[in-house]
Amino acid sequence: MSDDGGPVFRPFSVDPRSFRPIAPGEERDCFDLLSDASMFRHMNPENIMKIVQQMESVEVRHGQILLQQGEPTKRAYLLSKGVCSRHRVEDGQTHIIDESGRQVFASLHLINEDPTFSTVVCKSDTCSLYSITSSKFNDVLNKNPEVSREVIVSLAREVRRNITVKRTPLFEQHPKALKSPLLVYSIAAGVESFFRSALNTILNAHLAGQRITGFSSLFPNMHQQFIIRIMYINGFKGIRSYLDNHVDPETIDPRISPAFGSFLIAITPGVCMTPISSLLEAANVTQNTEPLWRRWTRGLVPRGCREIIFGIGLNQLSDWFEERLPFIANDQLRNAAGSLMAGVASGYCSHVVHNLCTLKLMFPNQSYGQHFETLAGKWLPAVTDFGIAPERRLQVSQILAVFAPRGLMIRTSQIVGSFIILNGVIAALSHKNL
């Protein structure tokens, strides 16, 4: 990404010499596409042809920039073949507005050459487009009052119905730009560490069938947890920012797709932070008396899966949900709602691997199979009471252990609270000069 938080694009734009007059065989294609565009949909065919006759055609290559956000809109484009993407930077964060195979770009900004709303880039190998300059478009309007009136009617209808909605794909979310990221992440992690410790202690006691002895027992080894938690959250956020700035998913490996490259980038923070998470969990668990250097290795594999889910939820899914809540006007409420939804999804998806790695940490001498039997056994009395046939009880208990496990509400509440605290504090401090 660039220093302002925008994505890194190849440094070449469309050569003005690439434009050529529309060939006779292209007029019908251009007319059909223009007629389907909302700005011109309500115009008479003869008036649409007056605009078509002033348009040019151009073919561009992958990565070429058609329009740059903030620059005066000198041209509008009508995409005939290929795929273009639109990126807009707001408050230091990049959003993908939409991607489409057939679309009009910049028509609403063309008349007064207003600043372009978003950056438009060719994403396929080649893109074939039709284009009209602002001067030619205004010339058509000035010489044809009826065309002007029909454009105004179409624009009025377009403005009424058009709401720009951000739709960045899940694994292509970009982090917010911060003035002092290390300090902001540390403050957020410090606040969240106490909440997380208390909920984790309650969950561990619930899984082990033990009682909590007092308020202070909710925060065991807090001098260790506090420091490790700050390292942990800074790692998640810092790795995400570094990869976003230095790794392009389209160029990781020519053998993999950009979508899979984005997925690999999204899971990397969770993989990298699994050892730190293991230390944090080991500092919180008092049932295992092994030394810390041995204790932290217990449950490493399922914990890695849990951390990947946590990282995607914190770094990607929260922003994904937040973008899709435009009806919430208040930024902090929208941030909290997005974090809540991401926390519910992440908490539920990670509950099985979390329970397994926690039980392995508390009772290292038992196998994962034995721990899963323990979780399933919690459901046997209820399954028996339900009147399930004896030969089916074990299978039903195992299914319930996966889809309705012990401690689900506690675990989900923990993740929801952590996401709301972390993302809320980060959002609140994002514009502060710390």
Q: Are residues 67 and 204 both part of a single domain?
A: no
Q: Are residues 246 and 325 both part of a single domain?
A: yes
Residue 10 lies in a domain: no
Of 147, 167, 187, the position where a domain reaches its end is 167
Backbone phi and psi for residue 223, each to the nearest 5 degrees, phi listed first:
-65, -30
Residue 107 lies in a domain: yes
Residue 9 lies in a domain: no
The two structure tokens encoding residue 338: 């997005």
Sign of CA dihedral 263, 268, 269, 275: positive
- Cβ distance 20 to 56 under 8 Å? yes
The total number of residues written for the chain in this structure: 434
Q: Are residues 89 and 163 both part of a single domain?
A: yes
Residue 1 lies in a domain: no
DSSP code, position 177: P
Model pLDDT, residue 98: 63
Model pLDDT, residue 196: 82
The two structure tokens encoding residue 364: 């290292």
Q: Are residues 182 and 142 both part of a single domain?
A: no
Residue 4 lies in a domain: no
Q: Are residues 361 and 376 both part of a single domain?
A: yes
Tally of CB atoms within 10 A around 200: 22
Of 167, 188, 217, the position where a domain reaches its end is 167
Model pLDDT, residue 265: 92
Q: Are residues 149 and 216 both part of a single domain?
A: no
Query: Position of tokens 């740059």?
Result: 68
On the CB side of 299, how many CA atoms lie within 13 Å of its CA?
A: 29
Of 142, 167, 192, the position where a domain reaches its end is 167
Q: Are residues 157 and 179 both part of a single domain?
A: no
Q: Are residues 153 and 188 both part of a single domain?
A: no
Residue 8 lies in a domain: no
Q: Are residues 43 and 145 both part of a single domain?
A: yes
Query: How many distinct structural domains can be found in the chain?
Result: 2
On the CB side of 409, how many CA atoms lie within 13 Å of its CA?
A: 1
Residue 154 lies in a domain: yes
The two structure tokens encoding residue 77: 């484009």
- The parent domain of residue 304 ranges over 171-429
Name the helix (H) or strand (E) containing 266: helix 258-284
Backbone phi and psi for residue 196, each to the nearest 5 degrees, phi listed first:
-65, -40
Q: Are residues 195 and 160 both part of a single domain?
A: no
195 contacts: CB under 8 Å, gap ≥ 6: 414, 417, 418, 421
Q: Residue 122's closest CA among 14, 42, 264?
A: 14
Residue 56 lies in a domain: yes
Q: What is the CATH number of the domain that holds 357?
A: 1.50.40
Q: Are residues 127 and 181 both part of a single domain?
A: no
Ordered per-residue pLDDT tens for the chain, 434 residues: 444 444 443 445 778 888 999 888 889 999 998 888 878 888 889 999 999 999 999 999 988 999 999 999 999 999 999 988 888 888 778 888 765 545 788 887 888 899 998 999 988 899 999 999 999 999 999 999 898 888 888 777 766 655 555 678 888 888 877 878 889 899 998 888 888 888 878 877 777 777 777 777 788 778 878 888 888 889 998 899 899 888 888 888 888 888 888 999 999 999 999 998 898 888 777 778 888 888 899 999 999 999 999 999 998 999 999 988 877 878 889 999 999 999 999 999 999 999 999 899 989 999 999 999 988 988 888 888 888 888 888 899 999 989 988 778 888 888 999 999 999 888 888 767 66
Q: Which pTM was predicted?
A: 0.68
Helix residue spans in 285-330 (DSSP H): 292-295, 300-312, 318-323
Q: Are residues 234 and 352 both part of a single domain?
A: yes
**Angstrom distance (rounded) from CA 52 to CA 43:** 13
